[in-house]
Every structure is written in C-alpha cells, then in structure tokens.
A and B are shown apart, each in its own frame.
Chain A
Amino acid sequence: MLNRYPLWKYLLILVVLVVGLIYSLPNLFPADPAIQVSDAQGDSLDERQISRVEEALIDSDIGIKAIEETNGQWLIRLQSDDDQLDARDIAADVLGSDATVALNLADATPGWLQAFSASPMTLGLDLRGGVHFLLEVDMDAALTQRLEVNASAMRELLRGERIRYRNTTIDERSLSISFGSAEDRDTARRLISRDFPNFEYSNEGDGRASNLVMTLSDQTVNEIQDYAINQNLTTLRNRVNELGVAEPMVQRQGPSQIVVELPGVQDTVAAKRIVGATANLEFRLEARNDTPDTETERLEFRNDPTRSAELMRDVIITGDSVSSASNSFDENGRPQVNINLDGTGGTLMNRATRTNIGRNMAVLFIEHKSEDRVEIDPETGEETIIREPYVERGLISLATIQSALGNSFRITGLDSPTEAAELALLLRSGSLAAPIYFVQERTIGPSLGAENIERGLLSVQIGLLLVVLFMLVRYKVFGVFANIALALNLTLLVAVMSMLGATLTLPGIAGIVLTLGMAVDANVLIFERIREELRNGMSIQQAIHAGYERAFTSIVDANITTLLVAVILFSIGTGPVKGFAVTLSIGILTSMFTALLVTRAMVNLTYGSKPVKKLWI
C-alpha cells in the first residue's frame, strides 16, 4: 500500500530522535564559572580553610552557588563570570602558598543526563574569551643541539682514549672533527663509529689537515625532529597545567607547528612568558689555566656583564636531568631554587664533582630568542621579514665545589623571587627540546565572547523564526511538517556535535544558521514536486509518493556535492574555517535524515492509507 512505513521504521526514527534529544539537552545547562582549590602538596585540604575562603568571598560580595569536594579538590561554583578573577585572587590570598587556586568552568549537567555520559558542546575561544597561540618549532636548532651533545660525548671519548684532536665544527646536519694526522683520524673513526651508528662517515683532507666528517642520515633527522615536536608537546602540556587553566589545549598542527589555546586567560604576557620560555640550565666546570683554548669559552654573568669567567665547553648536565625543583629563600633571604636530579643526572654530577673538589662550578642560564628584521629588496622594493634566532647565555652562579654533590642541591644568584619561581616551574615541567617561536596570537576578551554568544543565539532564533513563517505561509500543513523536521534537525545537529566533542565557534554558529536556511531545501523540492504531480492530475496518494521518490535523486546529488565541499573546507581549513566546515557537514547529514525520513513518517501517519479529499499544500 502507498504511503505507509513499516513499524520498525517509525521505531527507528523515534529512537534516533530520543537519543538526539538526550544528548542535546546538556547544552541547556551552561557551565558554571568556578574556582578550583587543591593542596599544593597533593594532600587533601582542611575544611576550615575552605570555610575561611567562603567567608572572604561573602565579605567581598561574591555570590557563591555551591561548594563541592572531590578527591581532596574543592570546587567553588560562582554566580557570575565577572567575579571569577577576583574570587581566584581572594582565595589565593587567604590560602597562601599551601594551595593551588585555578580558574575552572564546572559542568552543570544534571546527574541523570551524566548517566548517559552526555555533556555540552565545548565553546571555542571566540565565545568564551582566552588566548590562542600558534608556535613554530625551530627544527634546525633541534638538529644543532643534538649535534652539540654528540660532539661533547665524542670529545670525551677521544680524550679517554688519548687521541689528540684539534677542532670540532657543526654545520647544519654534519659534524666534523679535525686531527693532526691521518692515523689519528682513522683510529678515531673506528672508535666513534662503534659508539655512534647514526652517522654517515667520510674522510676529508690528509696529513696535518685530516678531517672526519659525520653526517646525520635522513631517517635520523626525521627521528630527531619528531622527538623535538613530541618532547615540546609534553613540556608545553606540563607548563600549561602548571598555569592552572581549565580545559587548555595543546596540539600539533602540521609538521612543525603547535597550537596552544588557553580559555579564560587574559594576562597574555605572563602566559607567553611561561609557554614560550626556552630557558634551560647547564652545569659546567670552570676552565683550569692549562686547559687548551679549543675546549673553553668565555661567558659573562647575567646580572653583571662586566664580570666573566672562562668555562669548559663540556657540559656536566643540563636542566633536562632535573626531576623536581622548587623555589624558596636561603639563610640570607635571597631567592634560591632547590633541585633534585634524576638517577643518571645524579651519577654524572657526583662523578664530575668528586674528582674536582676545590674547582669552581658554573650554572649557566640559556635562553633561545629571536628577532625579526625587515629586509627591503633593492630591485623590487618588496619587504620580507627575516627571523634571526639568537641564543642568550649568562652565568647565574659560580661557586667552589666544597664536596661531592649528589642528587639534590640548590642554586642561588637569581634576581628575584619571581625569577626563582619561574625557573623552578620551567625545570619541573622540563625544557623544550627545540626552541619555539610565536607565529600567531589571538586574544579574545571575555566581554567579546559573551557578546558573540548572545548575538549568535539571537540570529539563530530570528533566522529560525523567519524560515518557520515562510514555510507555514507557503506550504500550510506540509509547512508544519517541514518546521517540525527543522526543529528536530537543529536538535540532532546539536546532539551530534556534543557527542563528537566538537567545539562550537562563532563561524560554527554561522554554519548552523546557514544549515537552517538550506535544510528546508529538501522539503521544498519534495513539496514542489507533489504540487506539480497534483497539477498533472495524479491522485493524492500517488502524488505524495511520486513527490518523495522523484525528488530523491536531486536531493542526494545536491547534498553530496555540498558535503564534498565541506569536507575539503575541513581538511584545508584552520581555526574558524574548520568550525564552520564541521557544523556544515553535520548539518547536511542531519537535514537529509529529517527532511527525507522524518517528514515522510509524519506525512504517512497523517495521510497514509486513508481517503484524502484535499491536500493542504
């Protein structure tokens, strides 16, 4: 019989709609602004401390919605977004250094919805405010650093075997050592190639100018670069976590870029200092008077450039061997950083200091920076910006080794407590395997975010209303079907986006609005076809049937091509374009479901298998 669906089809549609409803519901409960308080040492916090925070907040007229505790962490939900920053400062003041206070957005999804693990869409930075950084990892520097480490190890190996060498030079991907004679070089080559299999070896020159050139293989270069990116990702995640930001994002983009998004952060200067810091430490011995010049270099003090010291080129350990670090003050009230080394680091440090008691050891502060310079082409007048990386090194302390050092010790000579705290943070979170540079930055104030949400929602509502009216006027009863389908389409779209964990951005909202306008297209096609078939003299039941069947290929063809474009948009797009593409693609799929199946089910239920005299279309 015409225009009847089997029962299972109705049930299927019903199930899809119910699931869609459940997963879209959490979006009606916006997350609460909150501050999260946890003990700095990881113990659970005293309830009395929390009630002191509560009193302080009430005194400052900050509205508290609820206070909850989970696993020793306290969550204070606030009434208003505006109070969040003040509340954090107040809580931090009350609790002092024992506790970590962070901003958070607390999920407000009711428990029964959480049971389905339904959660609201995440809002993009343009809707909630925050900072977005795009960082470029300097791959050349990663290679140079690796080569330097290898060079240092090779020099030690050669000294141990009493082979005399002259100079080591590093050039892009290769490392060369010069020797006084070809025999020395050949012995060195045999020794080194046994320990360093990742290089390709070749000899250059002869006699007194014999060089051993070692080049990294392509595979090793790739490995080093991958390692650099992954190590940097880990380090950045650690640092961002230390900043105490709710739902931060640290993600690789392309071969050499990293995206960092910090929602809610307004103080970009501090965030940038921590995220982009490339500071590291090196511990080196001071040179002895009889050390050959090729093995030493002269470096200045960081806070007093007139003082300098002659240091060994060889590094005992770097900041990478630090397992934990904290800042405090020494007996004289000067800032200091307490350092604990990991196993290997401790052994290396112990070995170096045990045999060198009485010598000076230097702590070297190293920072990678870059400077942009504009160069104007004399012929074309075109301006190109050239980025020149440079390294800033400075001694922060030079102290006599009194006894063999072990796993833990402290360093002084820092300018301020803030510097000590930041250095400790950087040492804790690990250093960057390669320097990074900021290539893009976006800061969106919280007021703009709120405004964007408000305007976005308003345009969705008005757009929806206009379409609903249009369809009602034009297609009457069938317009009602199409409008119900449109509402369900919006629900399903939101549900799918929430389930996929997609991020809603302003262009995403634009995508929703556009989808609403275009979603009725399929129904328009069908309804026009039905009208046409009626005019051609078909019976009502047949016309409905033919309308759906004949419009089907048009609808599928048209939607598939739009979907193709949306997928391309997604794959080439970054940031705003991606958000738009996601909503557009999902919208196309959900609108096909609602326009084809859901309206058909409604039409079938209303008109199917009954005598109908007139069709209100």
Chain B
Amino acid sequence: MKPLSQLRIDFMGRRNLAFIVSALMLIISIGAIIFQQLNLGLDFTGGTLVEVRYGAVPSLDAIRQLLEDSGFQDVSVQTFGASTEILIRIQQAFDADVGNDVVSLLRANGDSVNLVRAEFVGAQVGDQLRDQSGLGLLVALGVVMLYVAFRFQYKFALGALLALLHDVIIVVGVFALFKLEFDLTVLAAILAVIGYSLNDTIVVYDRIRETIRTSRIDDMPQIFNEAINATLSRTLATSGTTVLVLLALLLLGGDMIENFAIALLIGIVVGTFSSIYISGALLIPLKLSREDLIPTKKETDEEEEELP
C-alpha cells in the first residue's frame, strides 16, 4: 500500500470532470426526488404495519384478497426476508386496533400465524415528525457551518456546506430512485452521513490550511493537490474500515436495519468522493487566497513553539 502515499494525483486538474459527474448525480437525484418521490415509511405517513410469520409459505394474492374483501383499502402485502414472513401495510388507519383485526382475520382460515410486530402511527404524529425531521436537518447543517466558519473561515464553511448538501441530496436521491423505504432510521443514517462526511472534509481542510501556511507557492490548485494527496491514504483507510463494518451490518444485521446500512454505505462512498473533490475544489471558484488565512497565522506559530 505504500506507493499510495507517494502518489501525486492531479485532483484539481480534473476538477471540471468531477464537477460534471457531481452535477449529473445531483440532477438525477433531484429529478428522482421530484418525479419518483420518496417512499416514505410508516413513521412519516401514518398508517398500520403488521409483520406476521406463517407456518407454511402463504399465497400473497390470497392474503391481499382476504384483506380487501374485509374492507381494508390500500393494502400492500409483501414478503420480508424469508418467504414465510409477510409484511402488511395499510395506509388508512382508522384506529389502533387494525393490527389485531388483521391477525385474527388471517388466523380465521386455520393458518398458523404468529405476530412478529405491529405498528400503528397516527397521521398527526407522522406530520409532526416530518416537520421536526426537516427542521433537525437544517439545524444540523446550520450549526456545523457556524462551527467551521468559526474554526476556519467562511469560505471553508460555504464549501463544507455545499459538499454536505451534495451528499445528502444524492443519498436521498438514491432512495427515491430505487423506491427504498425512507423511515426514521434512514433519517438517522443521513444525519450520521453529515457527521461523517464533515469529518472527512475537515481533515482535508485542516491540511489545506496547514499547507497554505507552510508552503511558499501561491498557486492554490497546487496547494490543494498537495494537501489532498497527503491525506489521501488516511481518507481511504478510514472509509475502508467504515465500509467494512457497514458491509457486516448490511449483510448480517437483519432486515430491520438494512435500509439504514444502505443509506450509510452510499453516504460514505459519496462523502469520501466529495471530501476529496467537491469540498476542496469548491474553494477555487470561491477564490480562497492566502490572505484569507493570514489573521490566524500568528496563533499556529505560538502553538508550534509551545510543543512540550
């Protein structure tokens, strides 16, 4: 692996290509979010979800028919993991007893049916949660931006924010594109992606700041290249370990955590890409110059002298 650290990849030279790739992904994602729409989970829409385990493999159509005949509308019946495990969703929830009604209905033909879980979410709760979650995302982005602006400089904050938005939009876009269910745990994963991608971005920024201060050249793209190359092996190592554990989680963690792991995996891959390309390269159009960092230069000199 050693050669990796001696590589001198001209990242900035290819930044236009990266911008085009990102722009394409963003357009597809936004298009998917607008036209396909998110497959929002029960947490956000309200409704009823019942997961049951049959003794023998049942016929999905028969179950659907049975439920529709009994007056349930908008019923979705699908297998969940094993073929004997059935997930039933009913959008319109009139009261909290629907879950029990469904189970007794399915048991009526003498099938052996065990309730694995049942969830009922009132419509009001769903609305409330949707508002709260959107707000939470905005607050998270805002606070993080303030911190970066305080520790670095506002141009860095802007670059970090754009990179984060990029990551979040693409993860949400993939969920919209493939109609994966977007529930509370996925939201948690997206917030974790924000934290993670930011982590990466900050490490790169920290190095850019250091290189600007120590190097004598004024050519920003060259400085960025040096900084990104210096942190490249670290970025790939950390992403590598995280991707490894996420794969373990995805493959072994079970169905309830599947979408969570998918969201994080996409987020980390995109986040790694954006911390190398987007957040650094964005500083060029933002016209970051050495002067932007000079006021803080004194501070580092002191720090270095103080080393015990």
Q: Which of A438, A440, A470 has the most CB of B within 10 A?
A: A440
B25 on the A face (CB < 8 A): no
Closest residue to B147 on the A side, CB-wise?
A561
Interface residue tally on A, bucketed by range: 35 or more
A62 on the B face (CB < 8 A): no
| Residues on A with beta carbons closer than 8 Å to the beta carbon of B248 | 459, 462-463, 466, 513
B79 on the A face (CB < 8 A): no
Tell me how far the C-beta of A579 lies from the nearest C-beta in chain B, rounded to whole angstroms: 9
Report which of A467, A566, A575 forms a contact with B195, defined as CB distance below 8 A. A566
Contact B198–A558 (Cβ < 8 Å): yes
Contact B118–A443 (Cβ < 8 Å): yes
Closest residue to A276 on the B side, CB-wise?
B96
Contact A574–B129 (Cβ < 8 Å): yes
Which of A27-35, A45-53, A311-319, A447-455 faces chain B? A447-455
Question: What are 5 A-to-B residue pairs whose CB atoms are below 8 Å?
Answer: A514-B249, A518-B242, A520-B237, A521-B241, A554-B203
A275, B255: Cα distance in complex, Å: 31
| Residues on A with beta carbons closer than 8 Å to the beta carbon of B260 | 507, 510
Asked if A564 meets B100 with Cβ closer than 8 Å, knowing A445-B114, A463-B245, the reply is no
B230 on the A face (CB < 8 A): yes
A97 on the B face (CB < 8 A): no
A228 on the B face (CB < 8 A): no
Contact B207–A554 (Cβ < 8 Å): yes
Asked if A565 meets B198 with Cβ closer than 8 Å, knowing A456-B253, A462-B252, the reply is yes
Residues from 95 to 118 in B contacting A, C-beta threshold 8 Å = 95-97, 99-100, 114-118
| Residues on B with beta carbons closer than 8 Å to the beta carbon of A566 | 195
| Residues on A with beta carbons closer than 8 Å to the beta carbon of B124 | 136, 439
Contact A584–B92 (Cβ < 8 Å): no
Return the 9 tightest CB-CB contacts between A and B, nearest first.
A463-B245, A572-B136, A439-B122, A517-B242, A562-B195, A517-B245, A565-B195, A463-B248, A455-B254
A207 on the B face (CB < 8 A): no
Contact B140–A565 (Cβ < 8 Å): yes
Contact A528–B143 (Cβ < 8 Å): no
Residues from 193 to 208 in B contacting A, C-beta threshold 8 Å = 194-196, 198-200, 202-203, 206-207
Tell me how far the C-beta of A138 lies from the nearest C-beta in chain B, rounded to whole angstroms: 12
A20, B1: Cα distance in complex, Å: 36
B261 on the A face (CB < 8 A): yes
Annotate B195-236 by CB proximity to A: 1 below 8 A, 0 otherwise.
110111011001100100000000000000000001101100
Report which of B96, B191, B195, B210 forms a contact with A438, defined as CB distance below 8 A. B96
Which of B11-19, B182-190, B281-289 faces chain A? B182-190
Closest residue to B136 on the A side, CB-wise?
A572
Report which of A385, A467, A506, A564 forms a contact with B241, defined as CB distance below 8 A. A467
Annotate B244-288 by CB proximity to A: 1 below 8 A, 0 otherwise.
111111011110110011001000000000000000000000000
A444, B185: Cα distance in complex, Å: 17
Closest residue to A528 on the B side, CB-wise?
B234
| Residues on B with beta carbons closer than 8 Å to the beta carbon of A520 | 237-238, 241
A516, B132: Cα distance in complex, Å: 29
Annotate B18-62 by CB proximity to A: 1 below 8 A, 0 otherwise.
000000000000000000000000000010000101000000000
| Residues on B with beta carbons closer than 8 Å to the beta carbon of A532 | 5, 230
Contact B240–A470 (Cβ < 8 Å): yes
Contact B116–A447 (Cβ < 8 Å): yes
Report which of A372, A445, A451, A462 forms a contact with B95, defined as CB distance below 8 A. A372
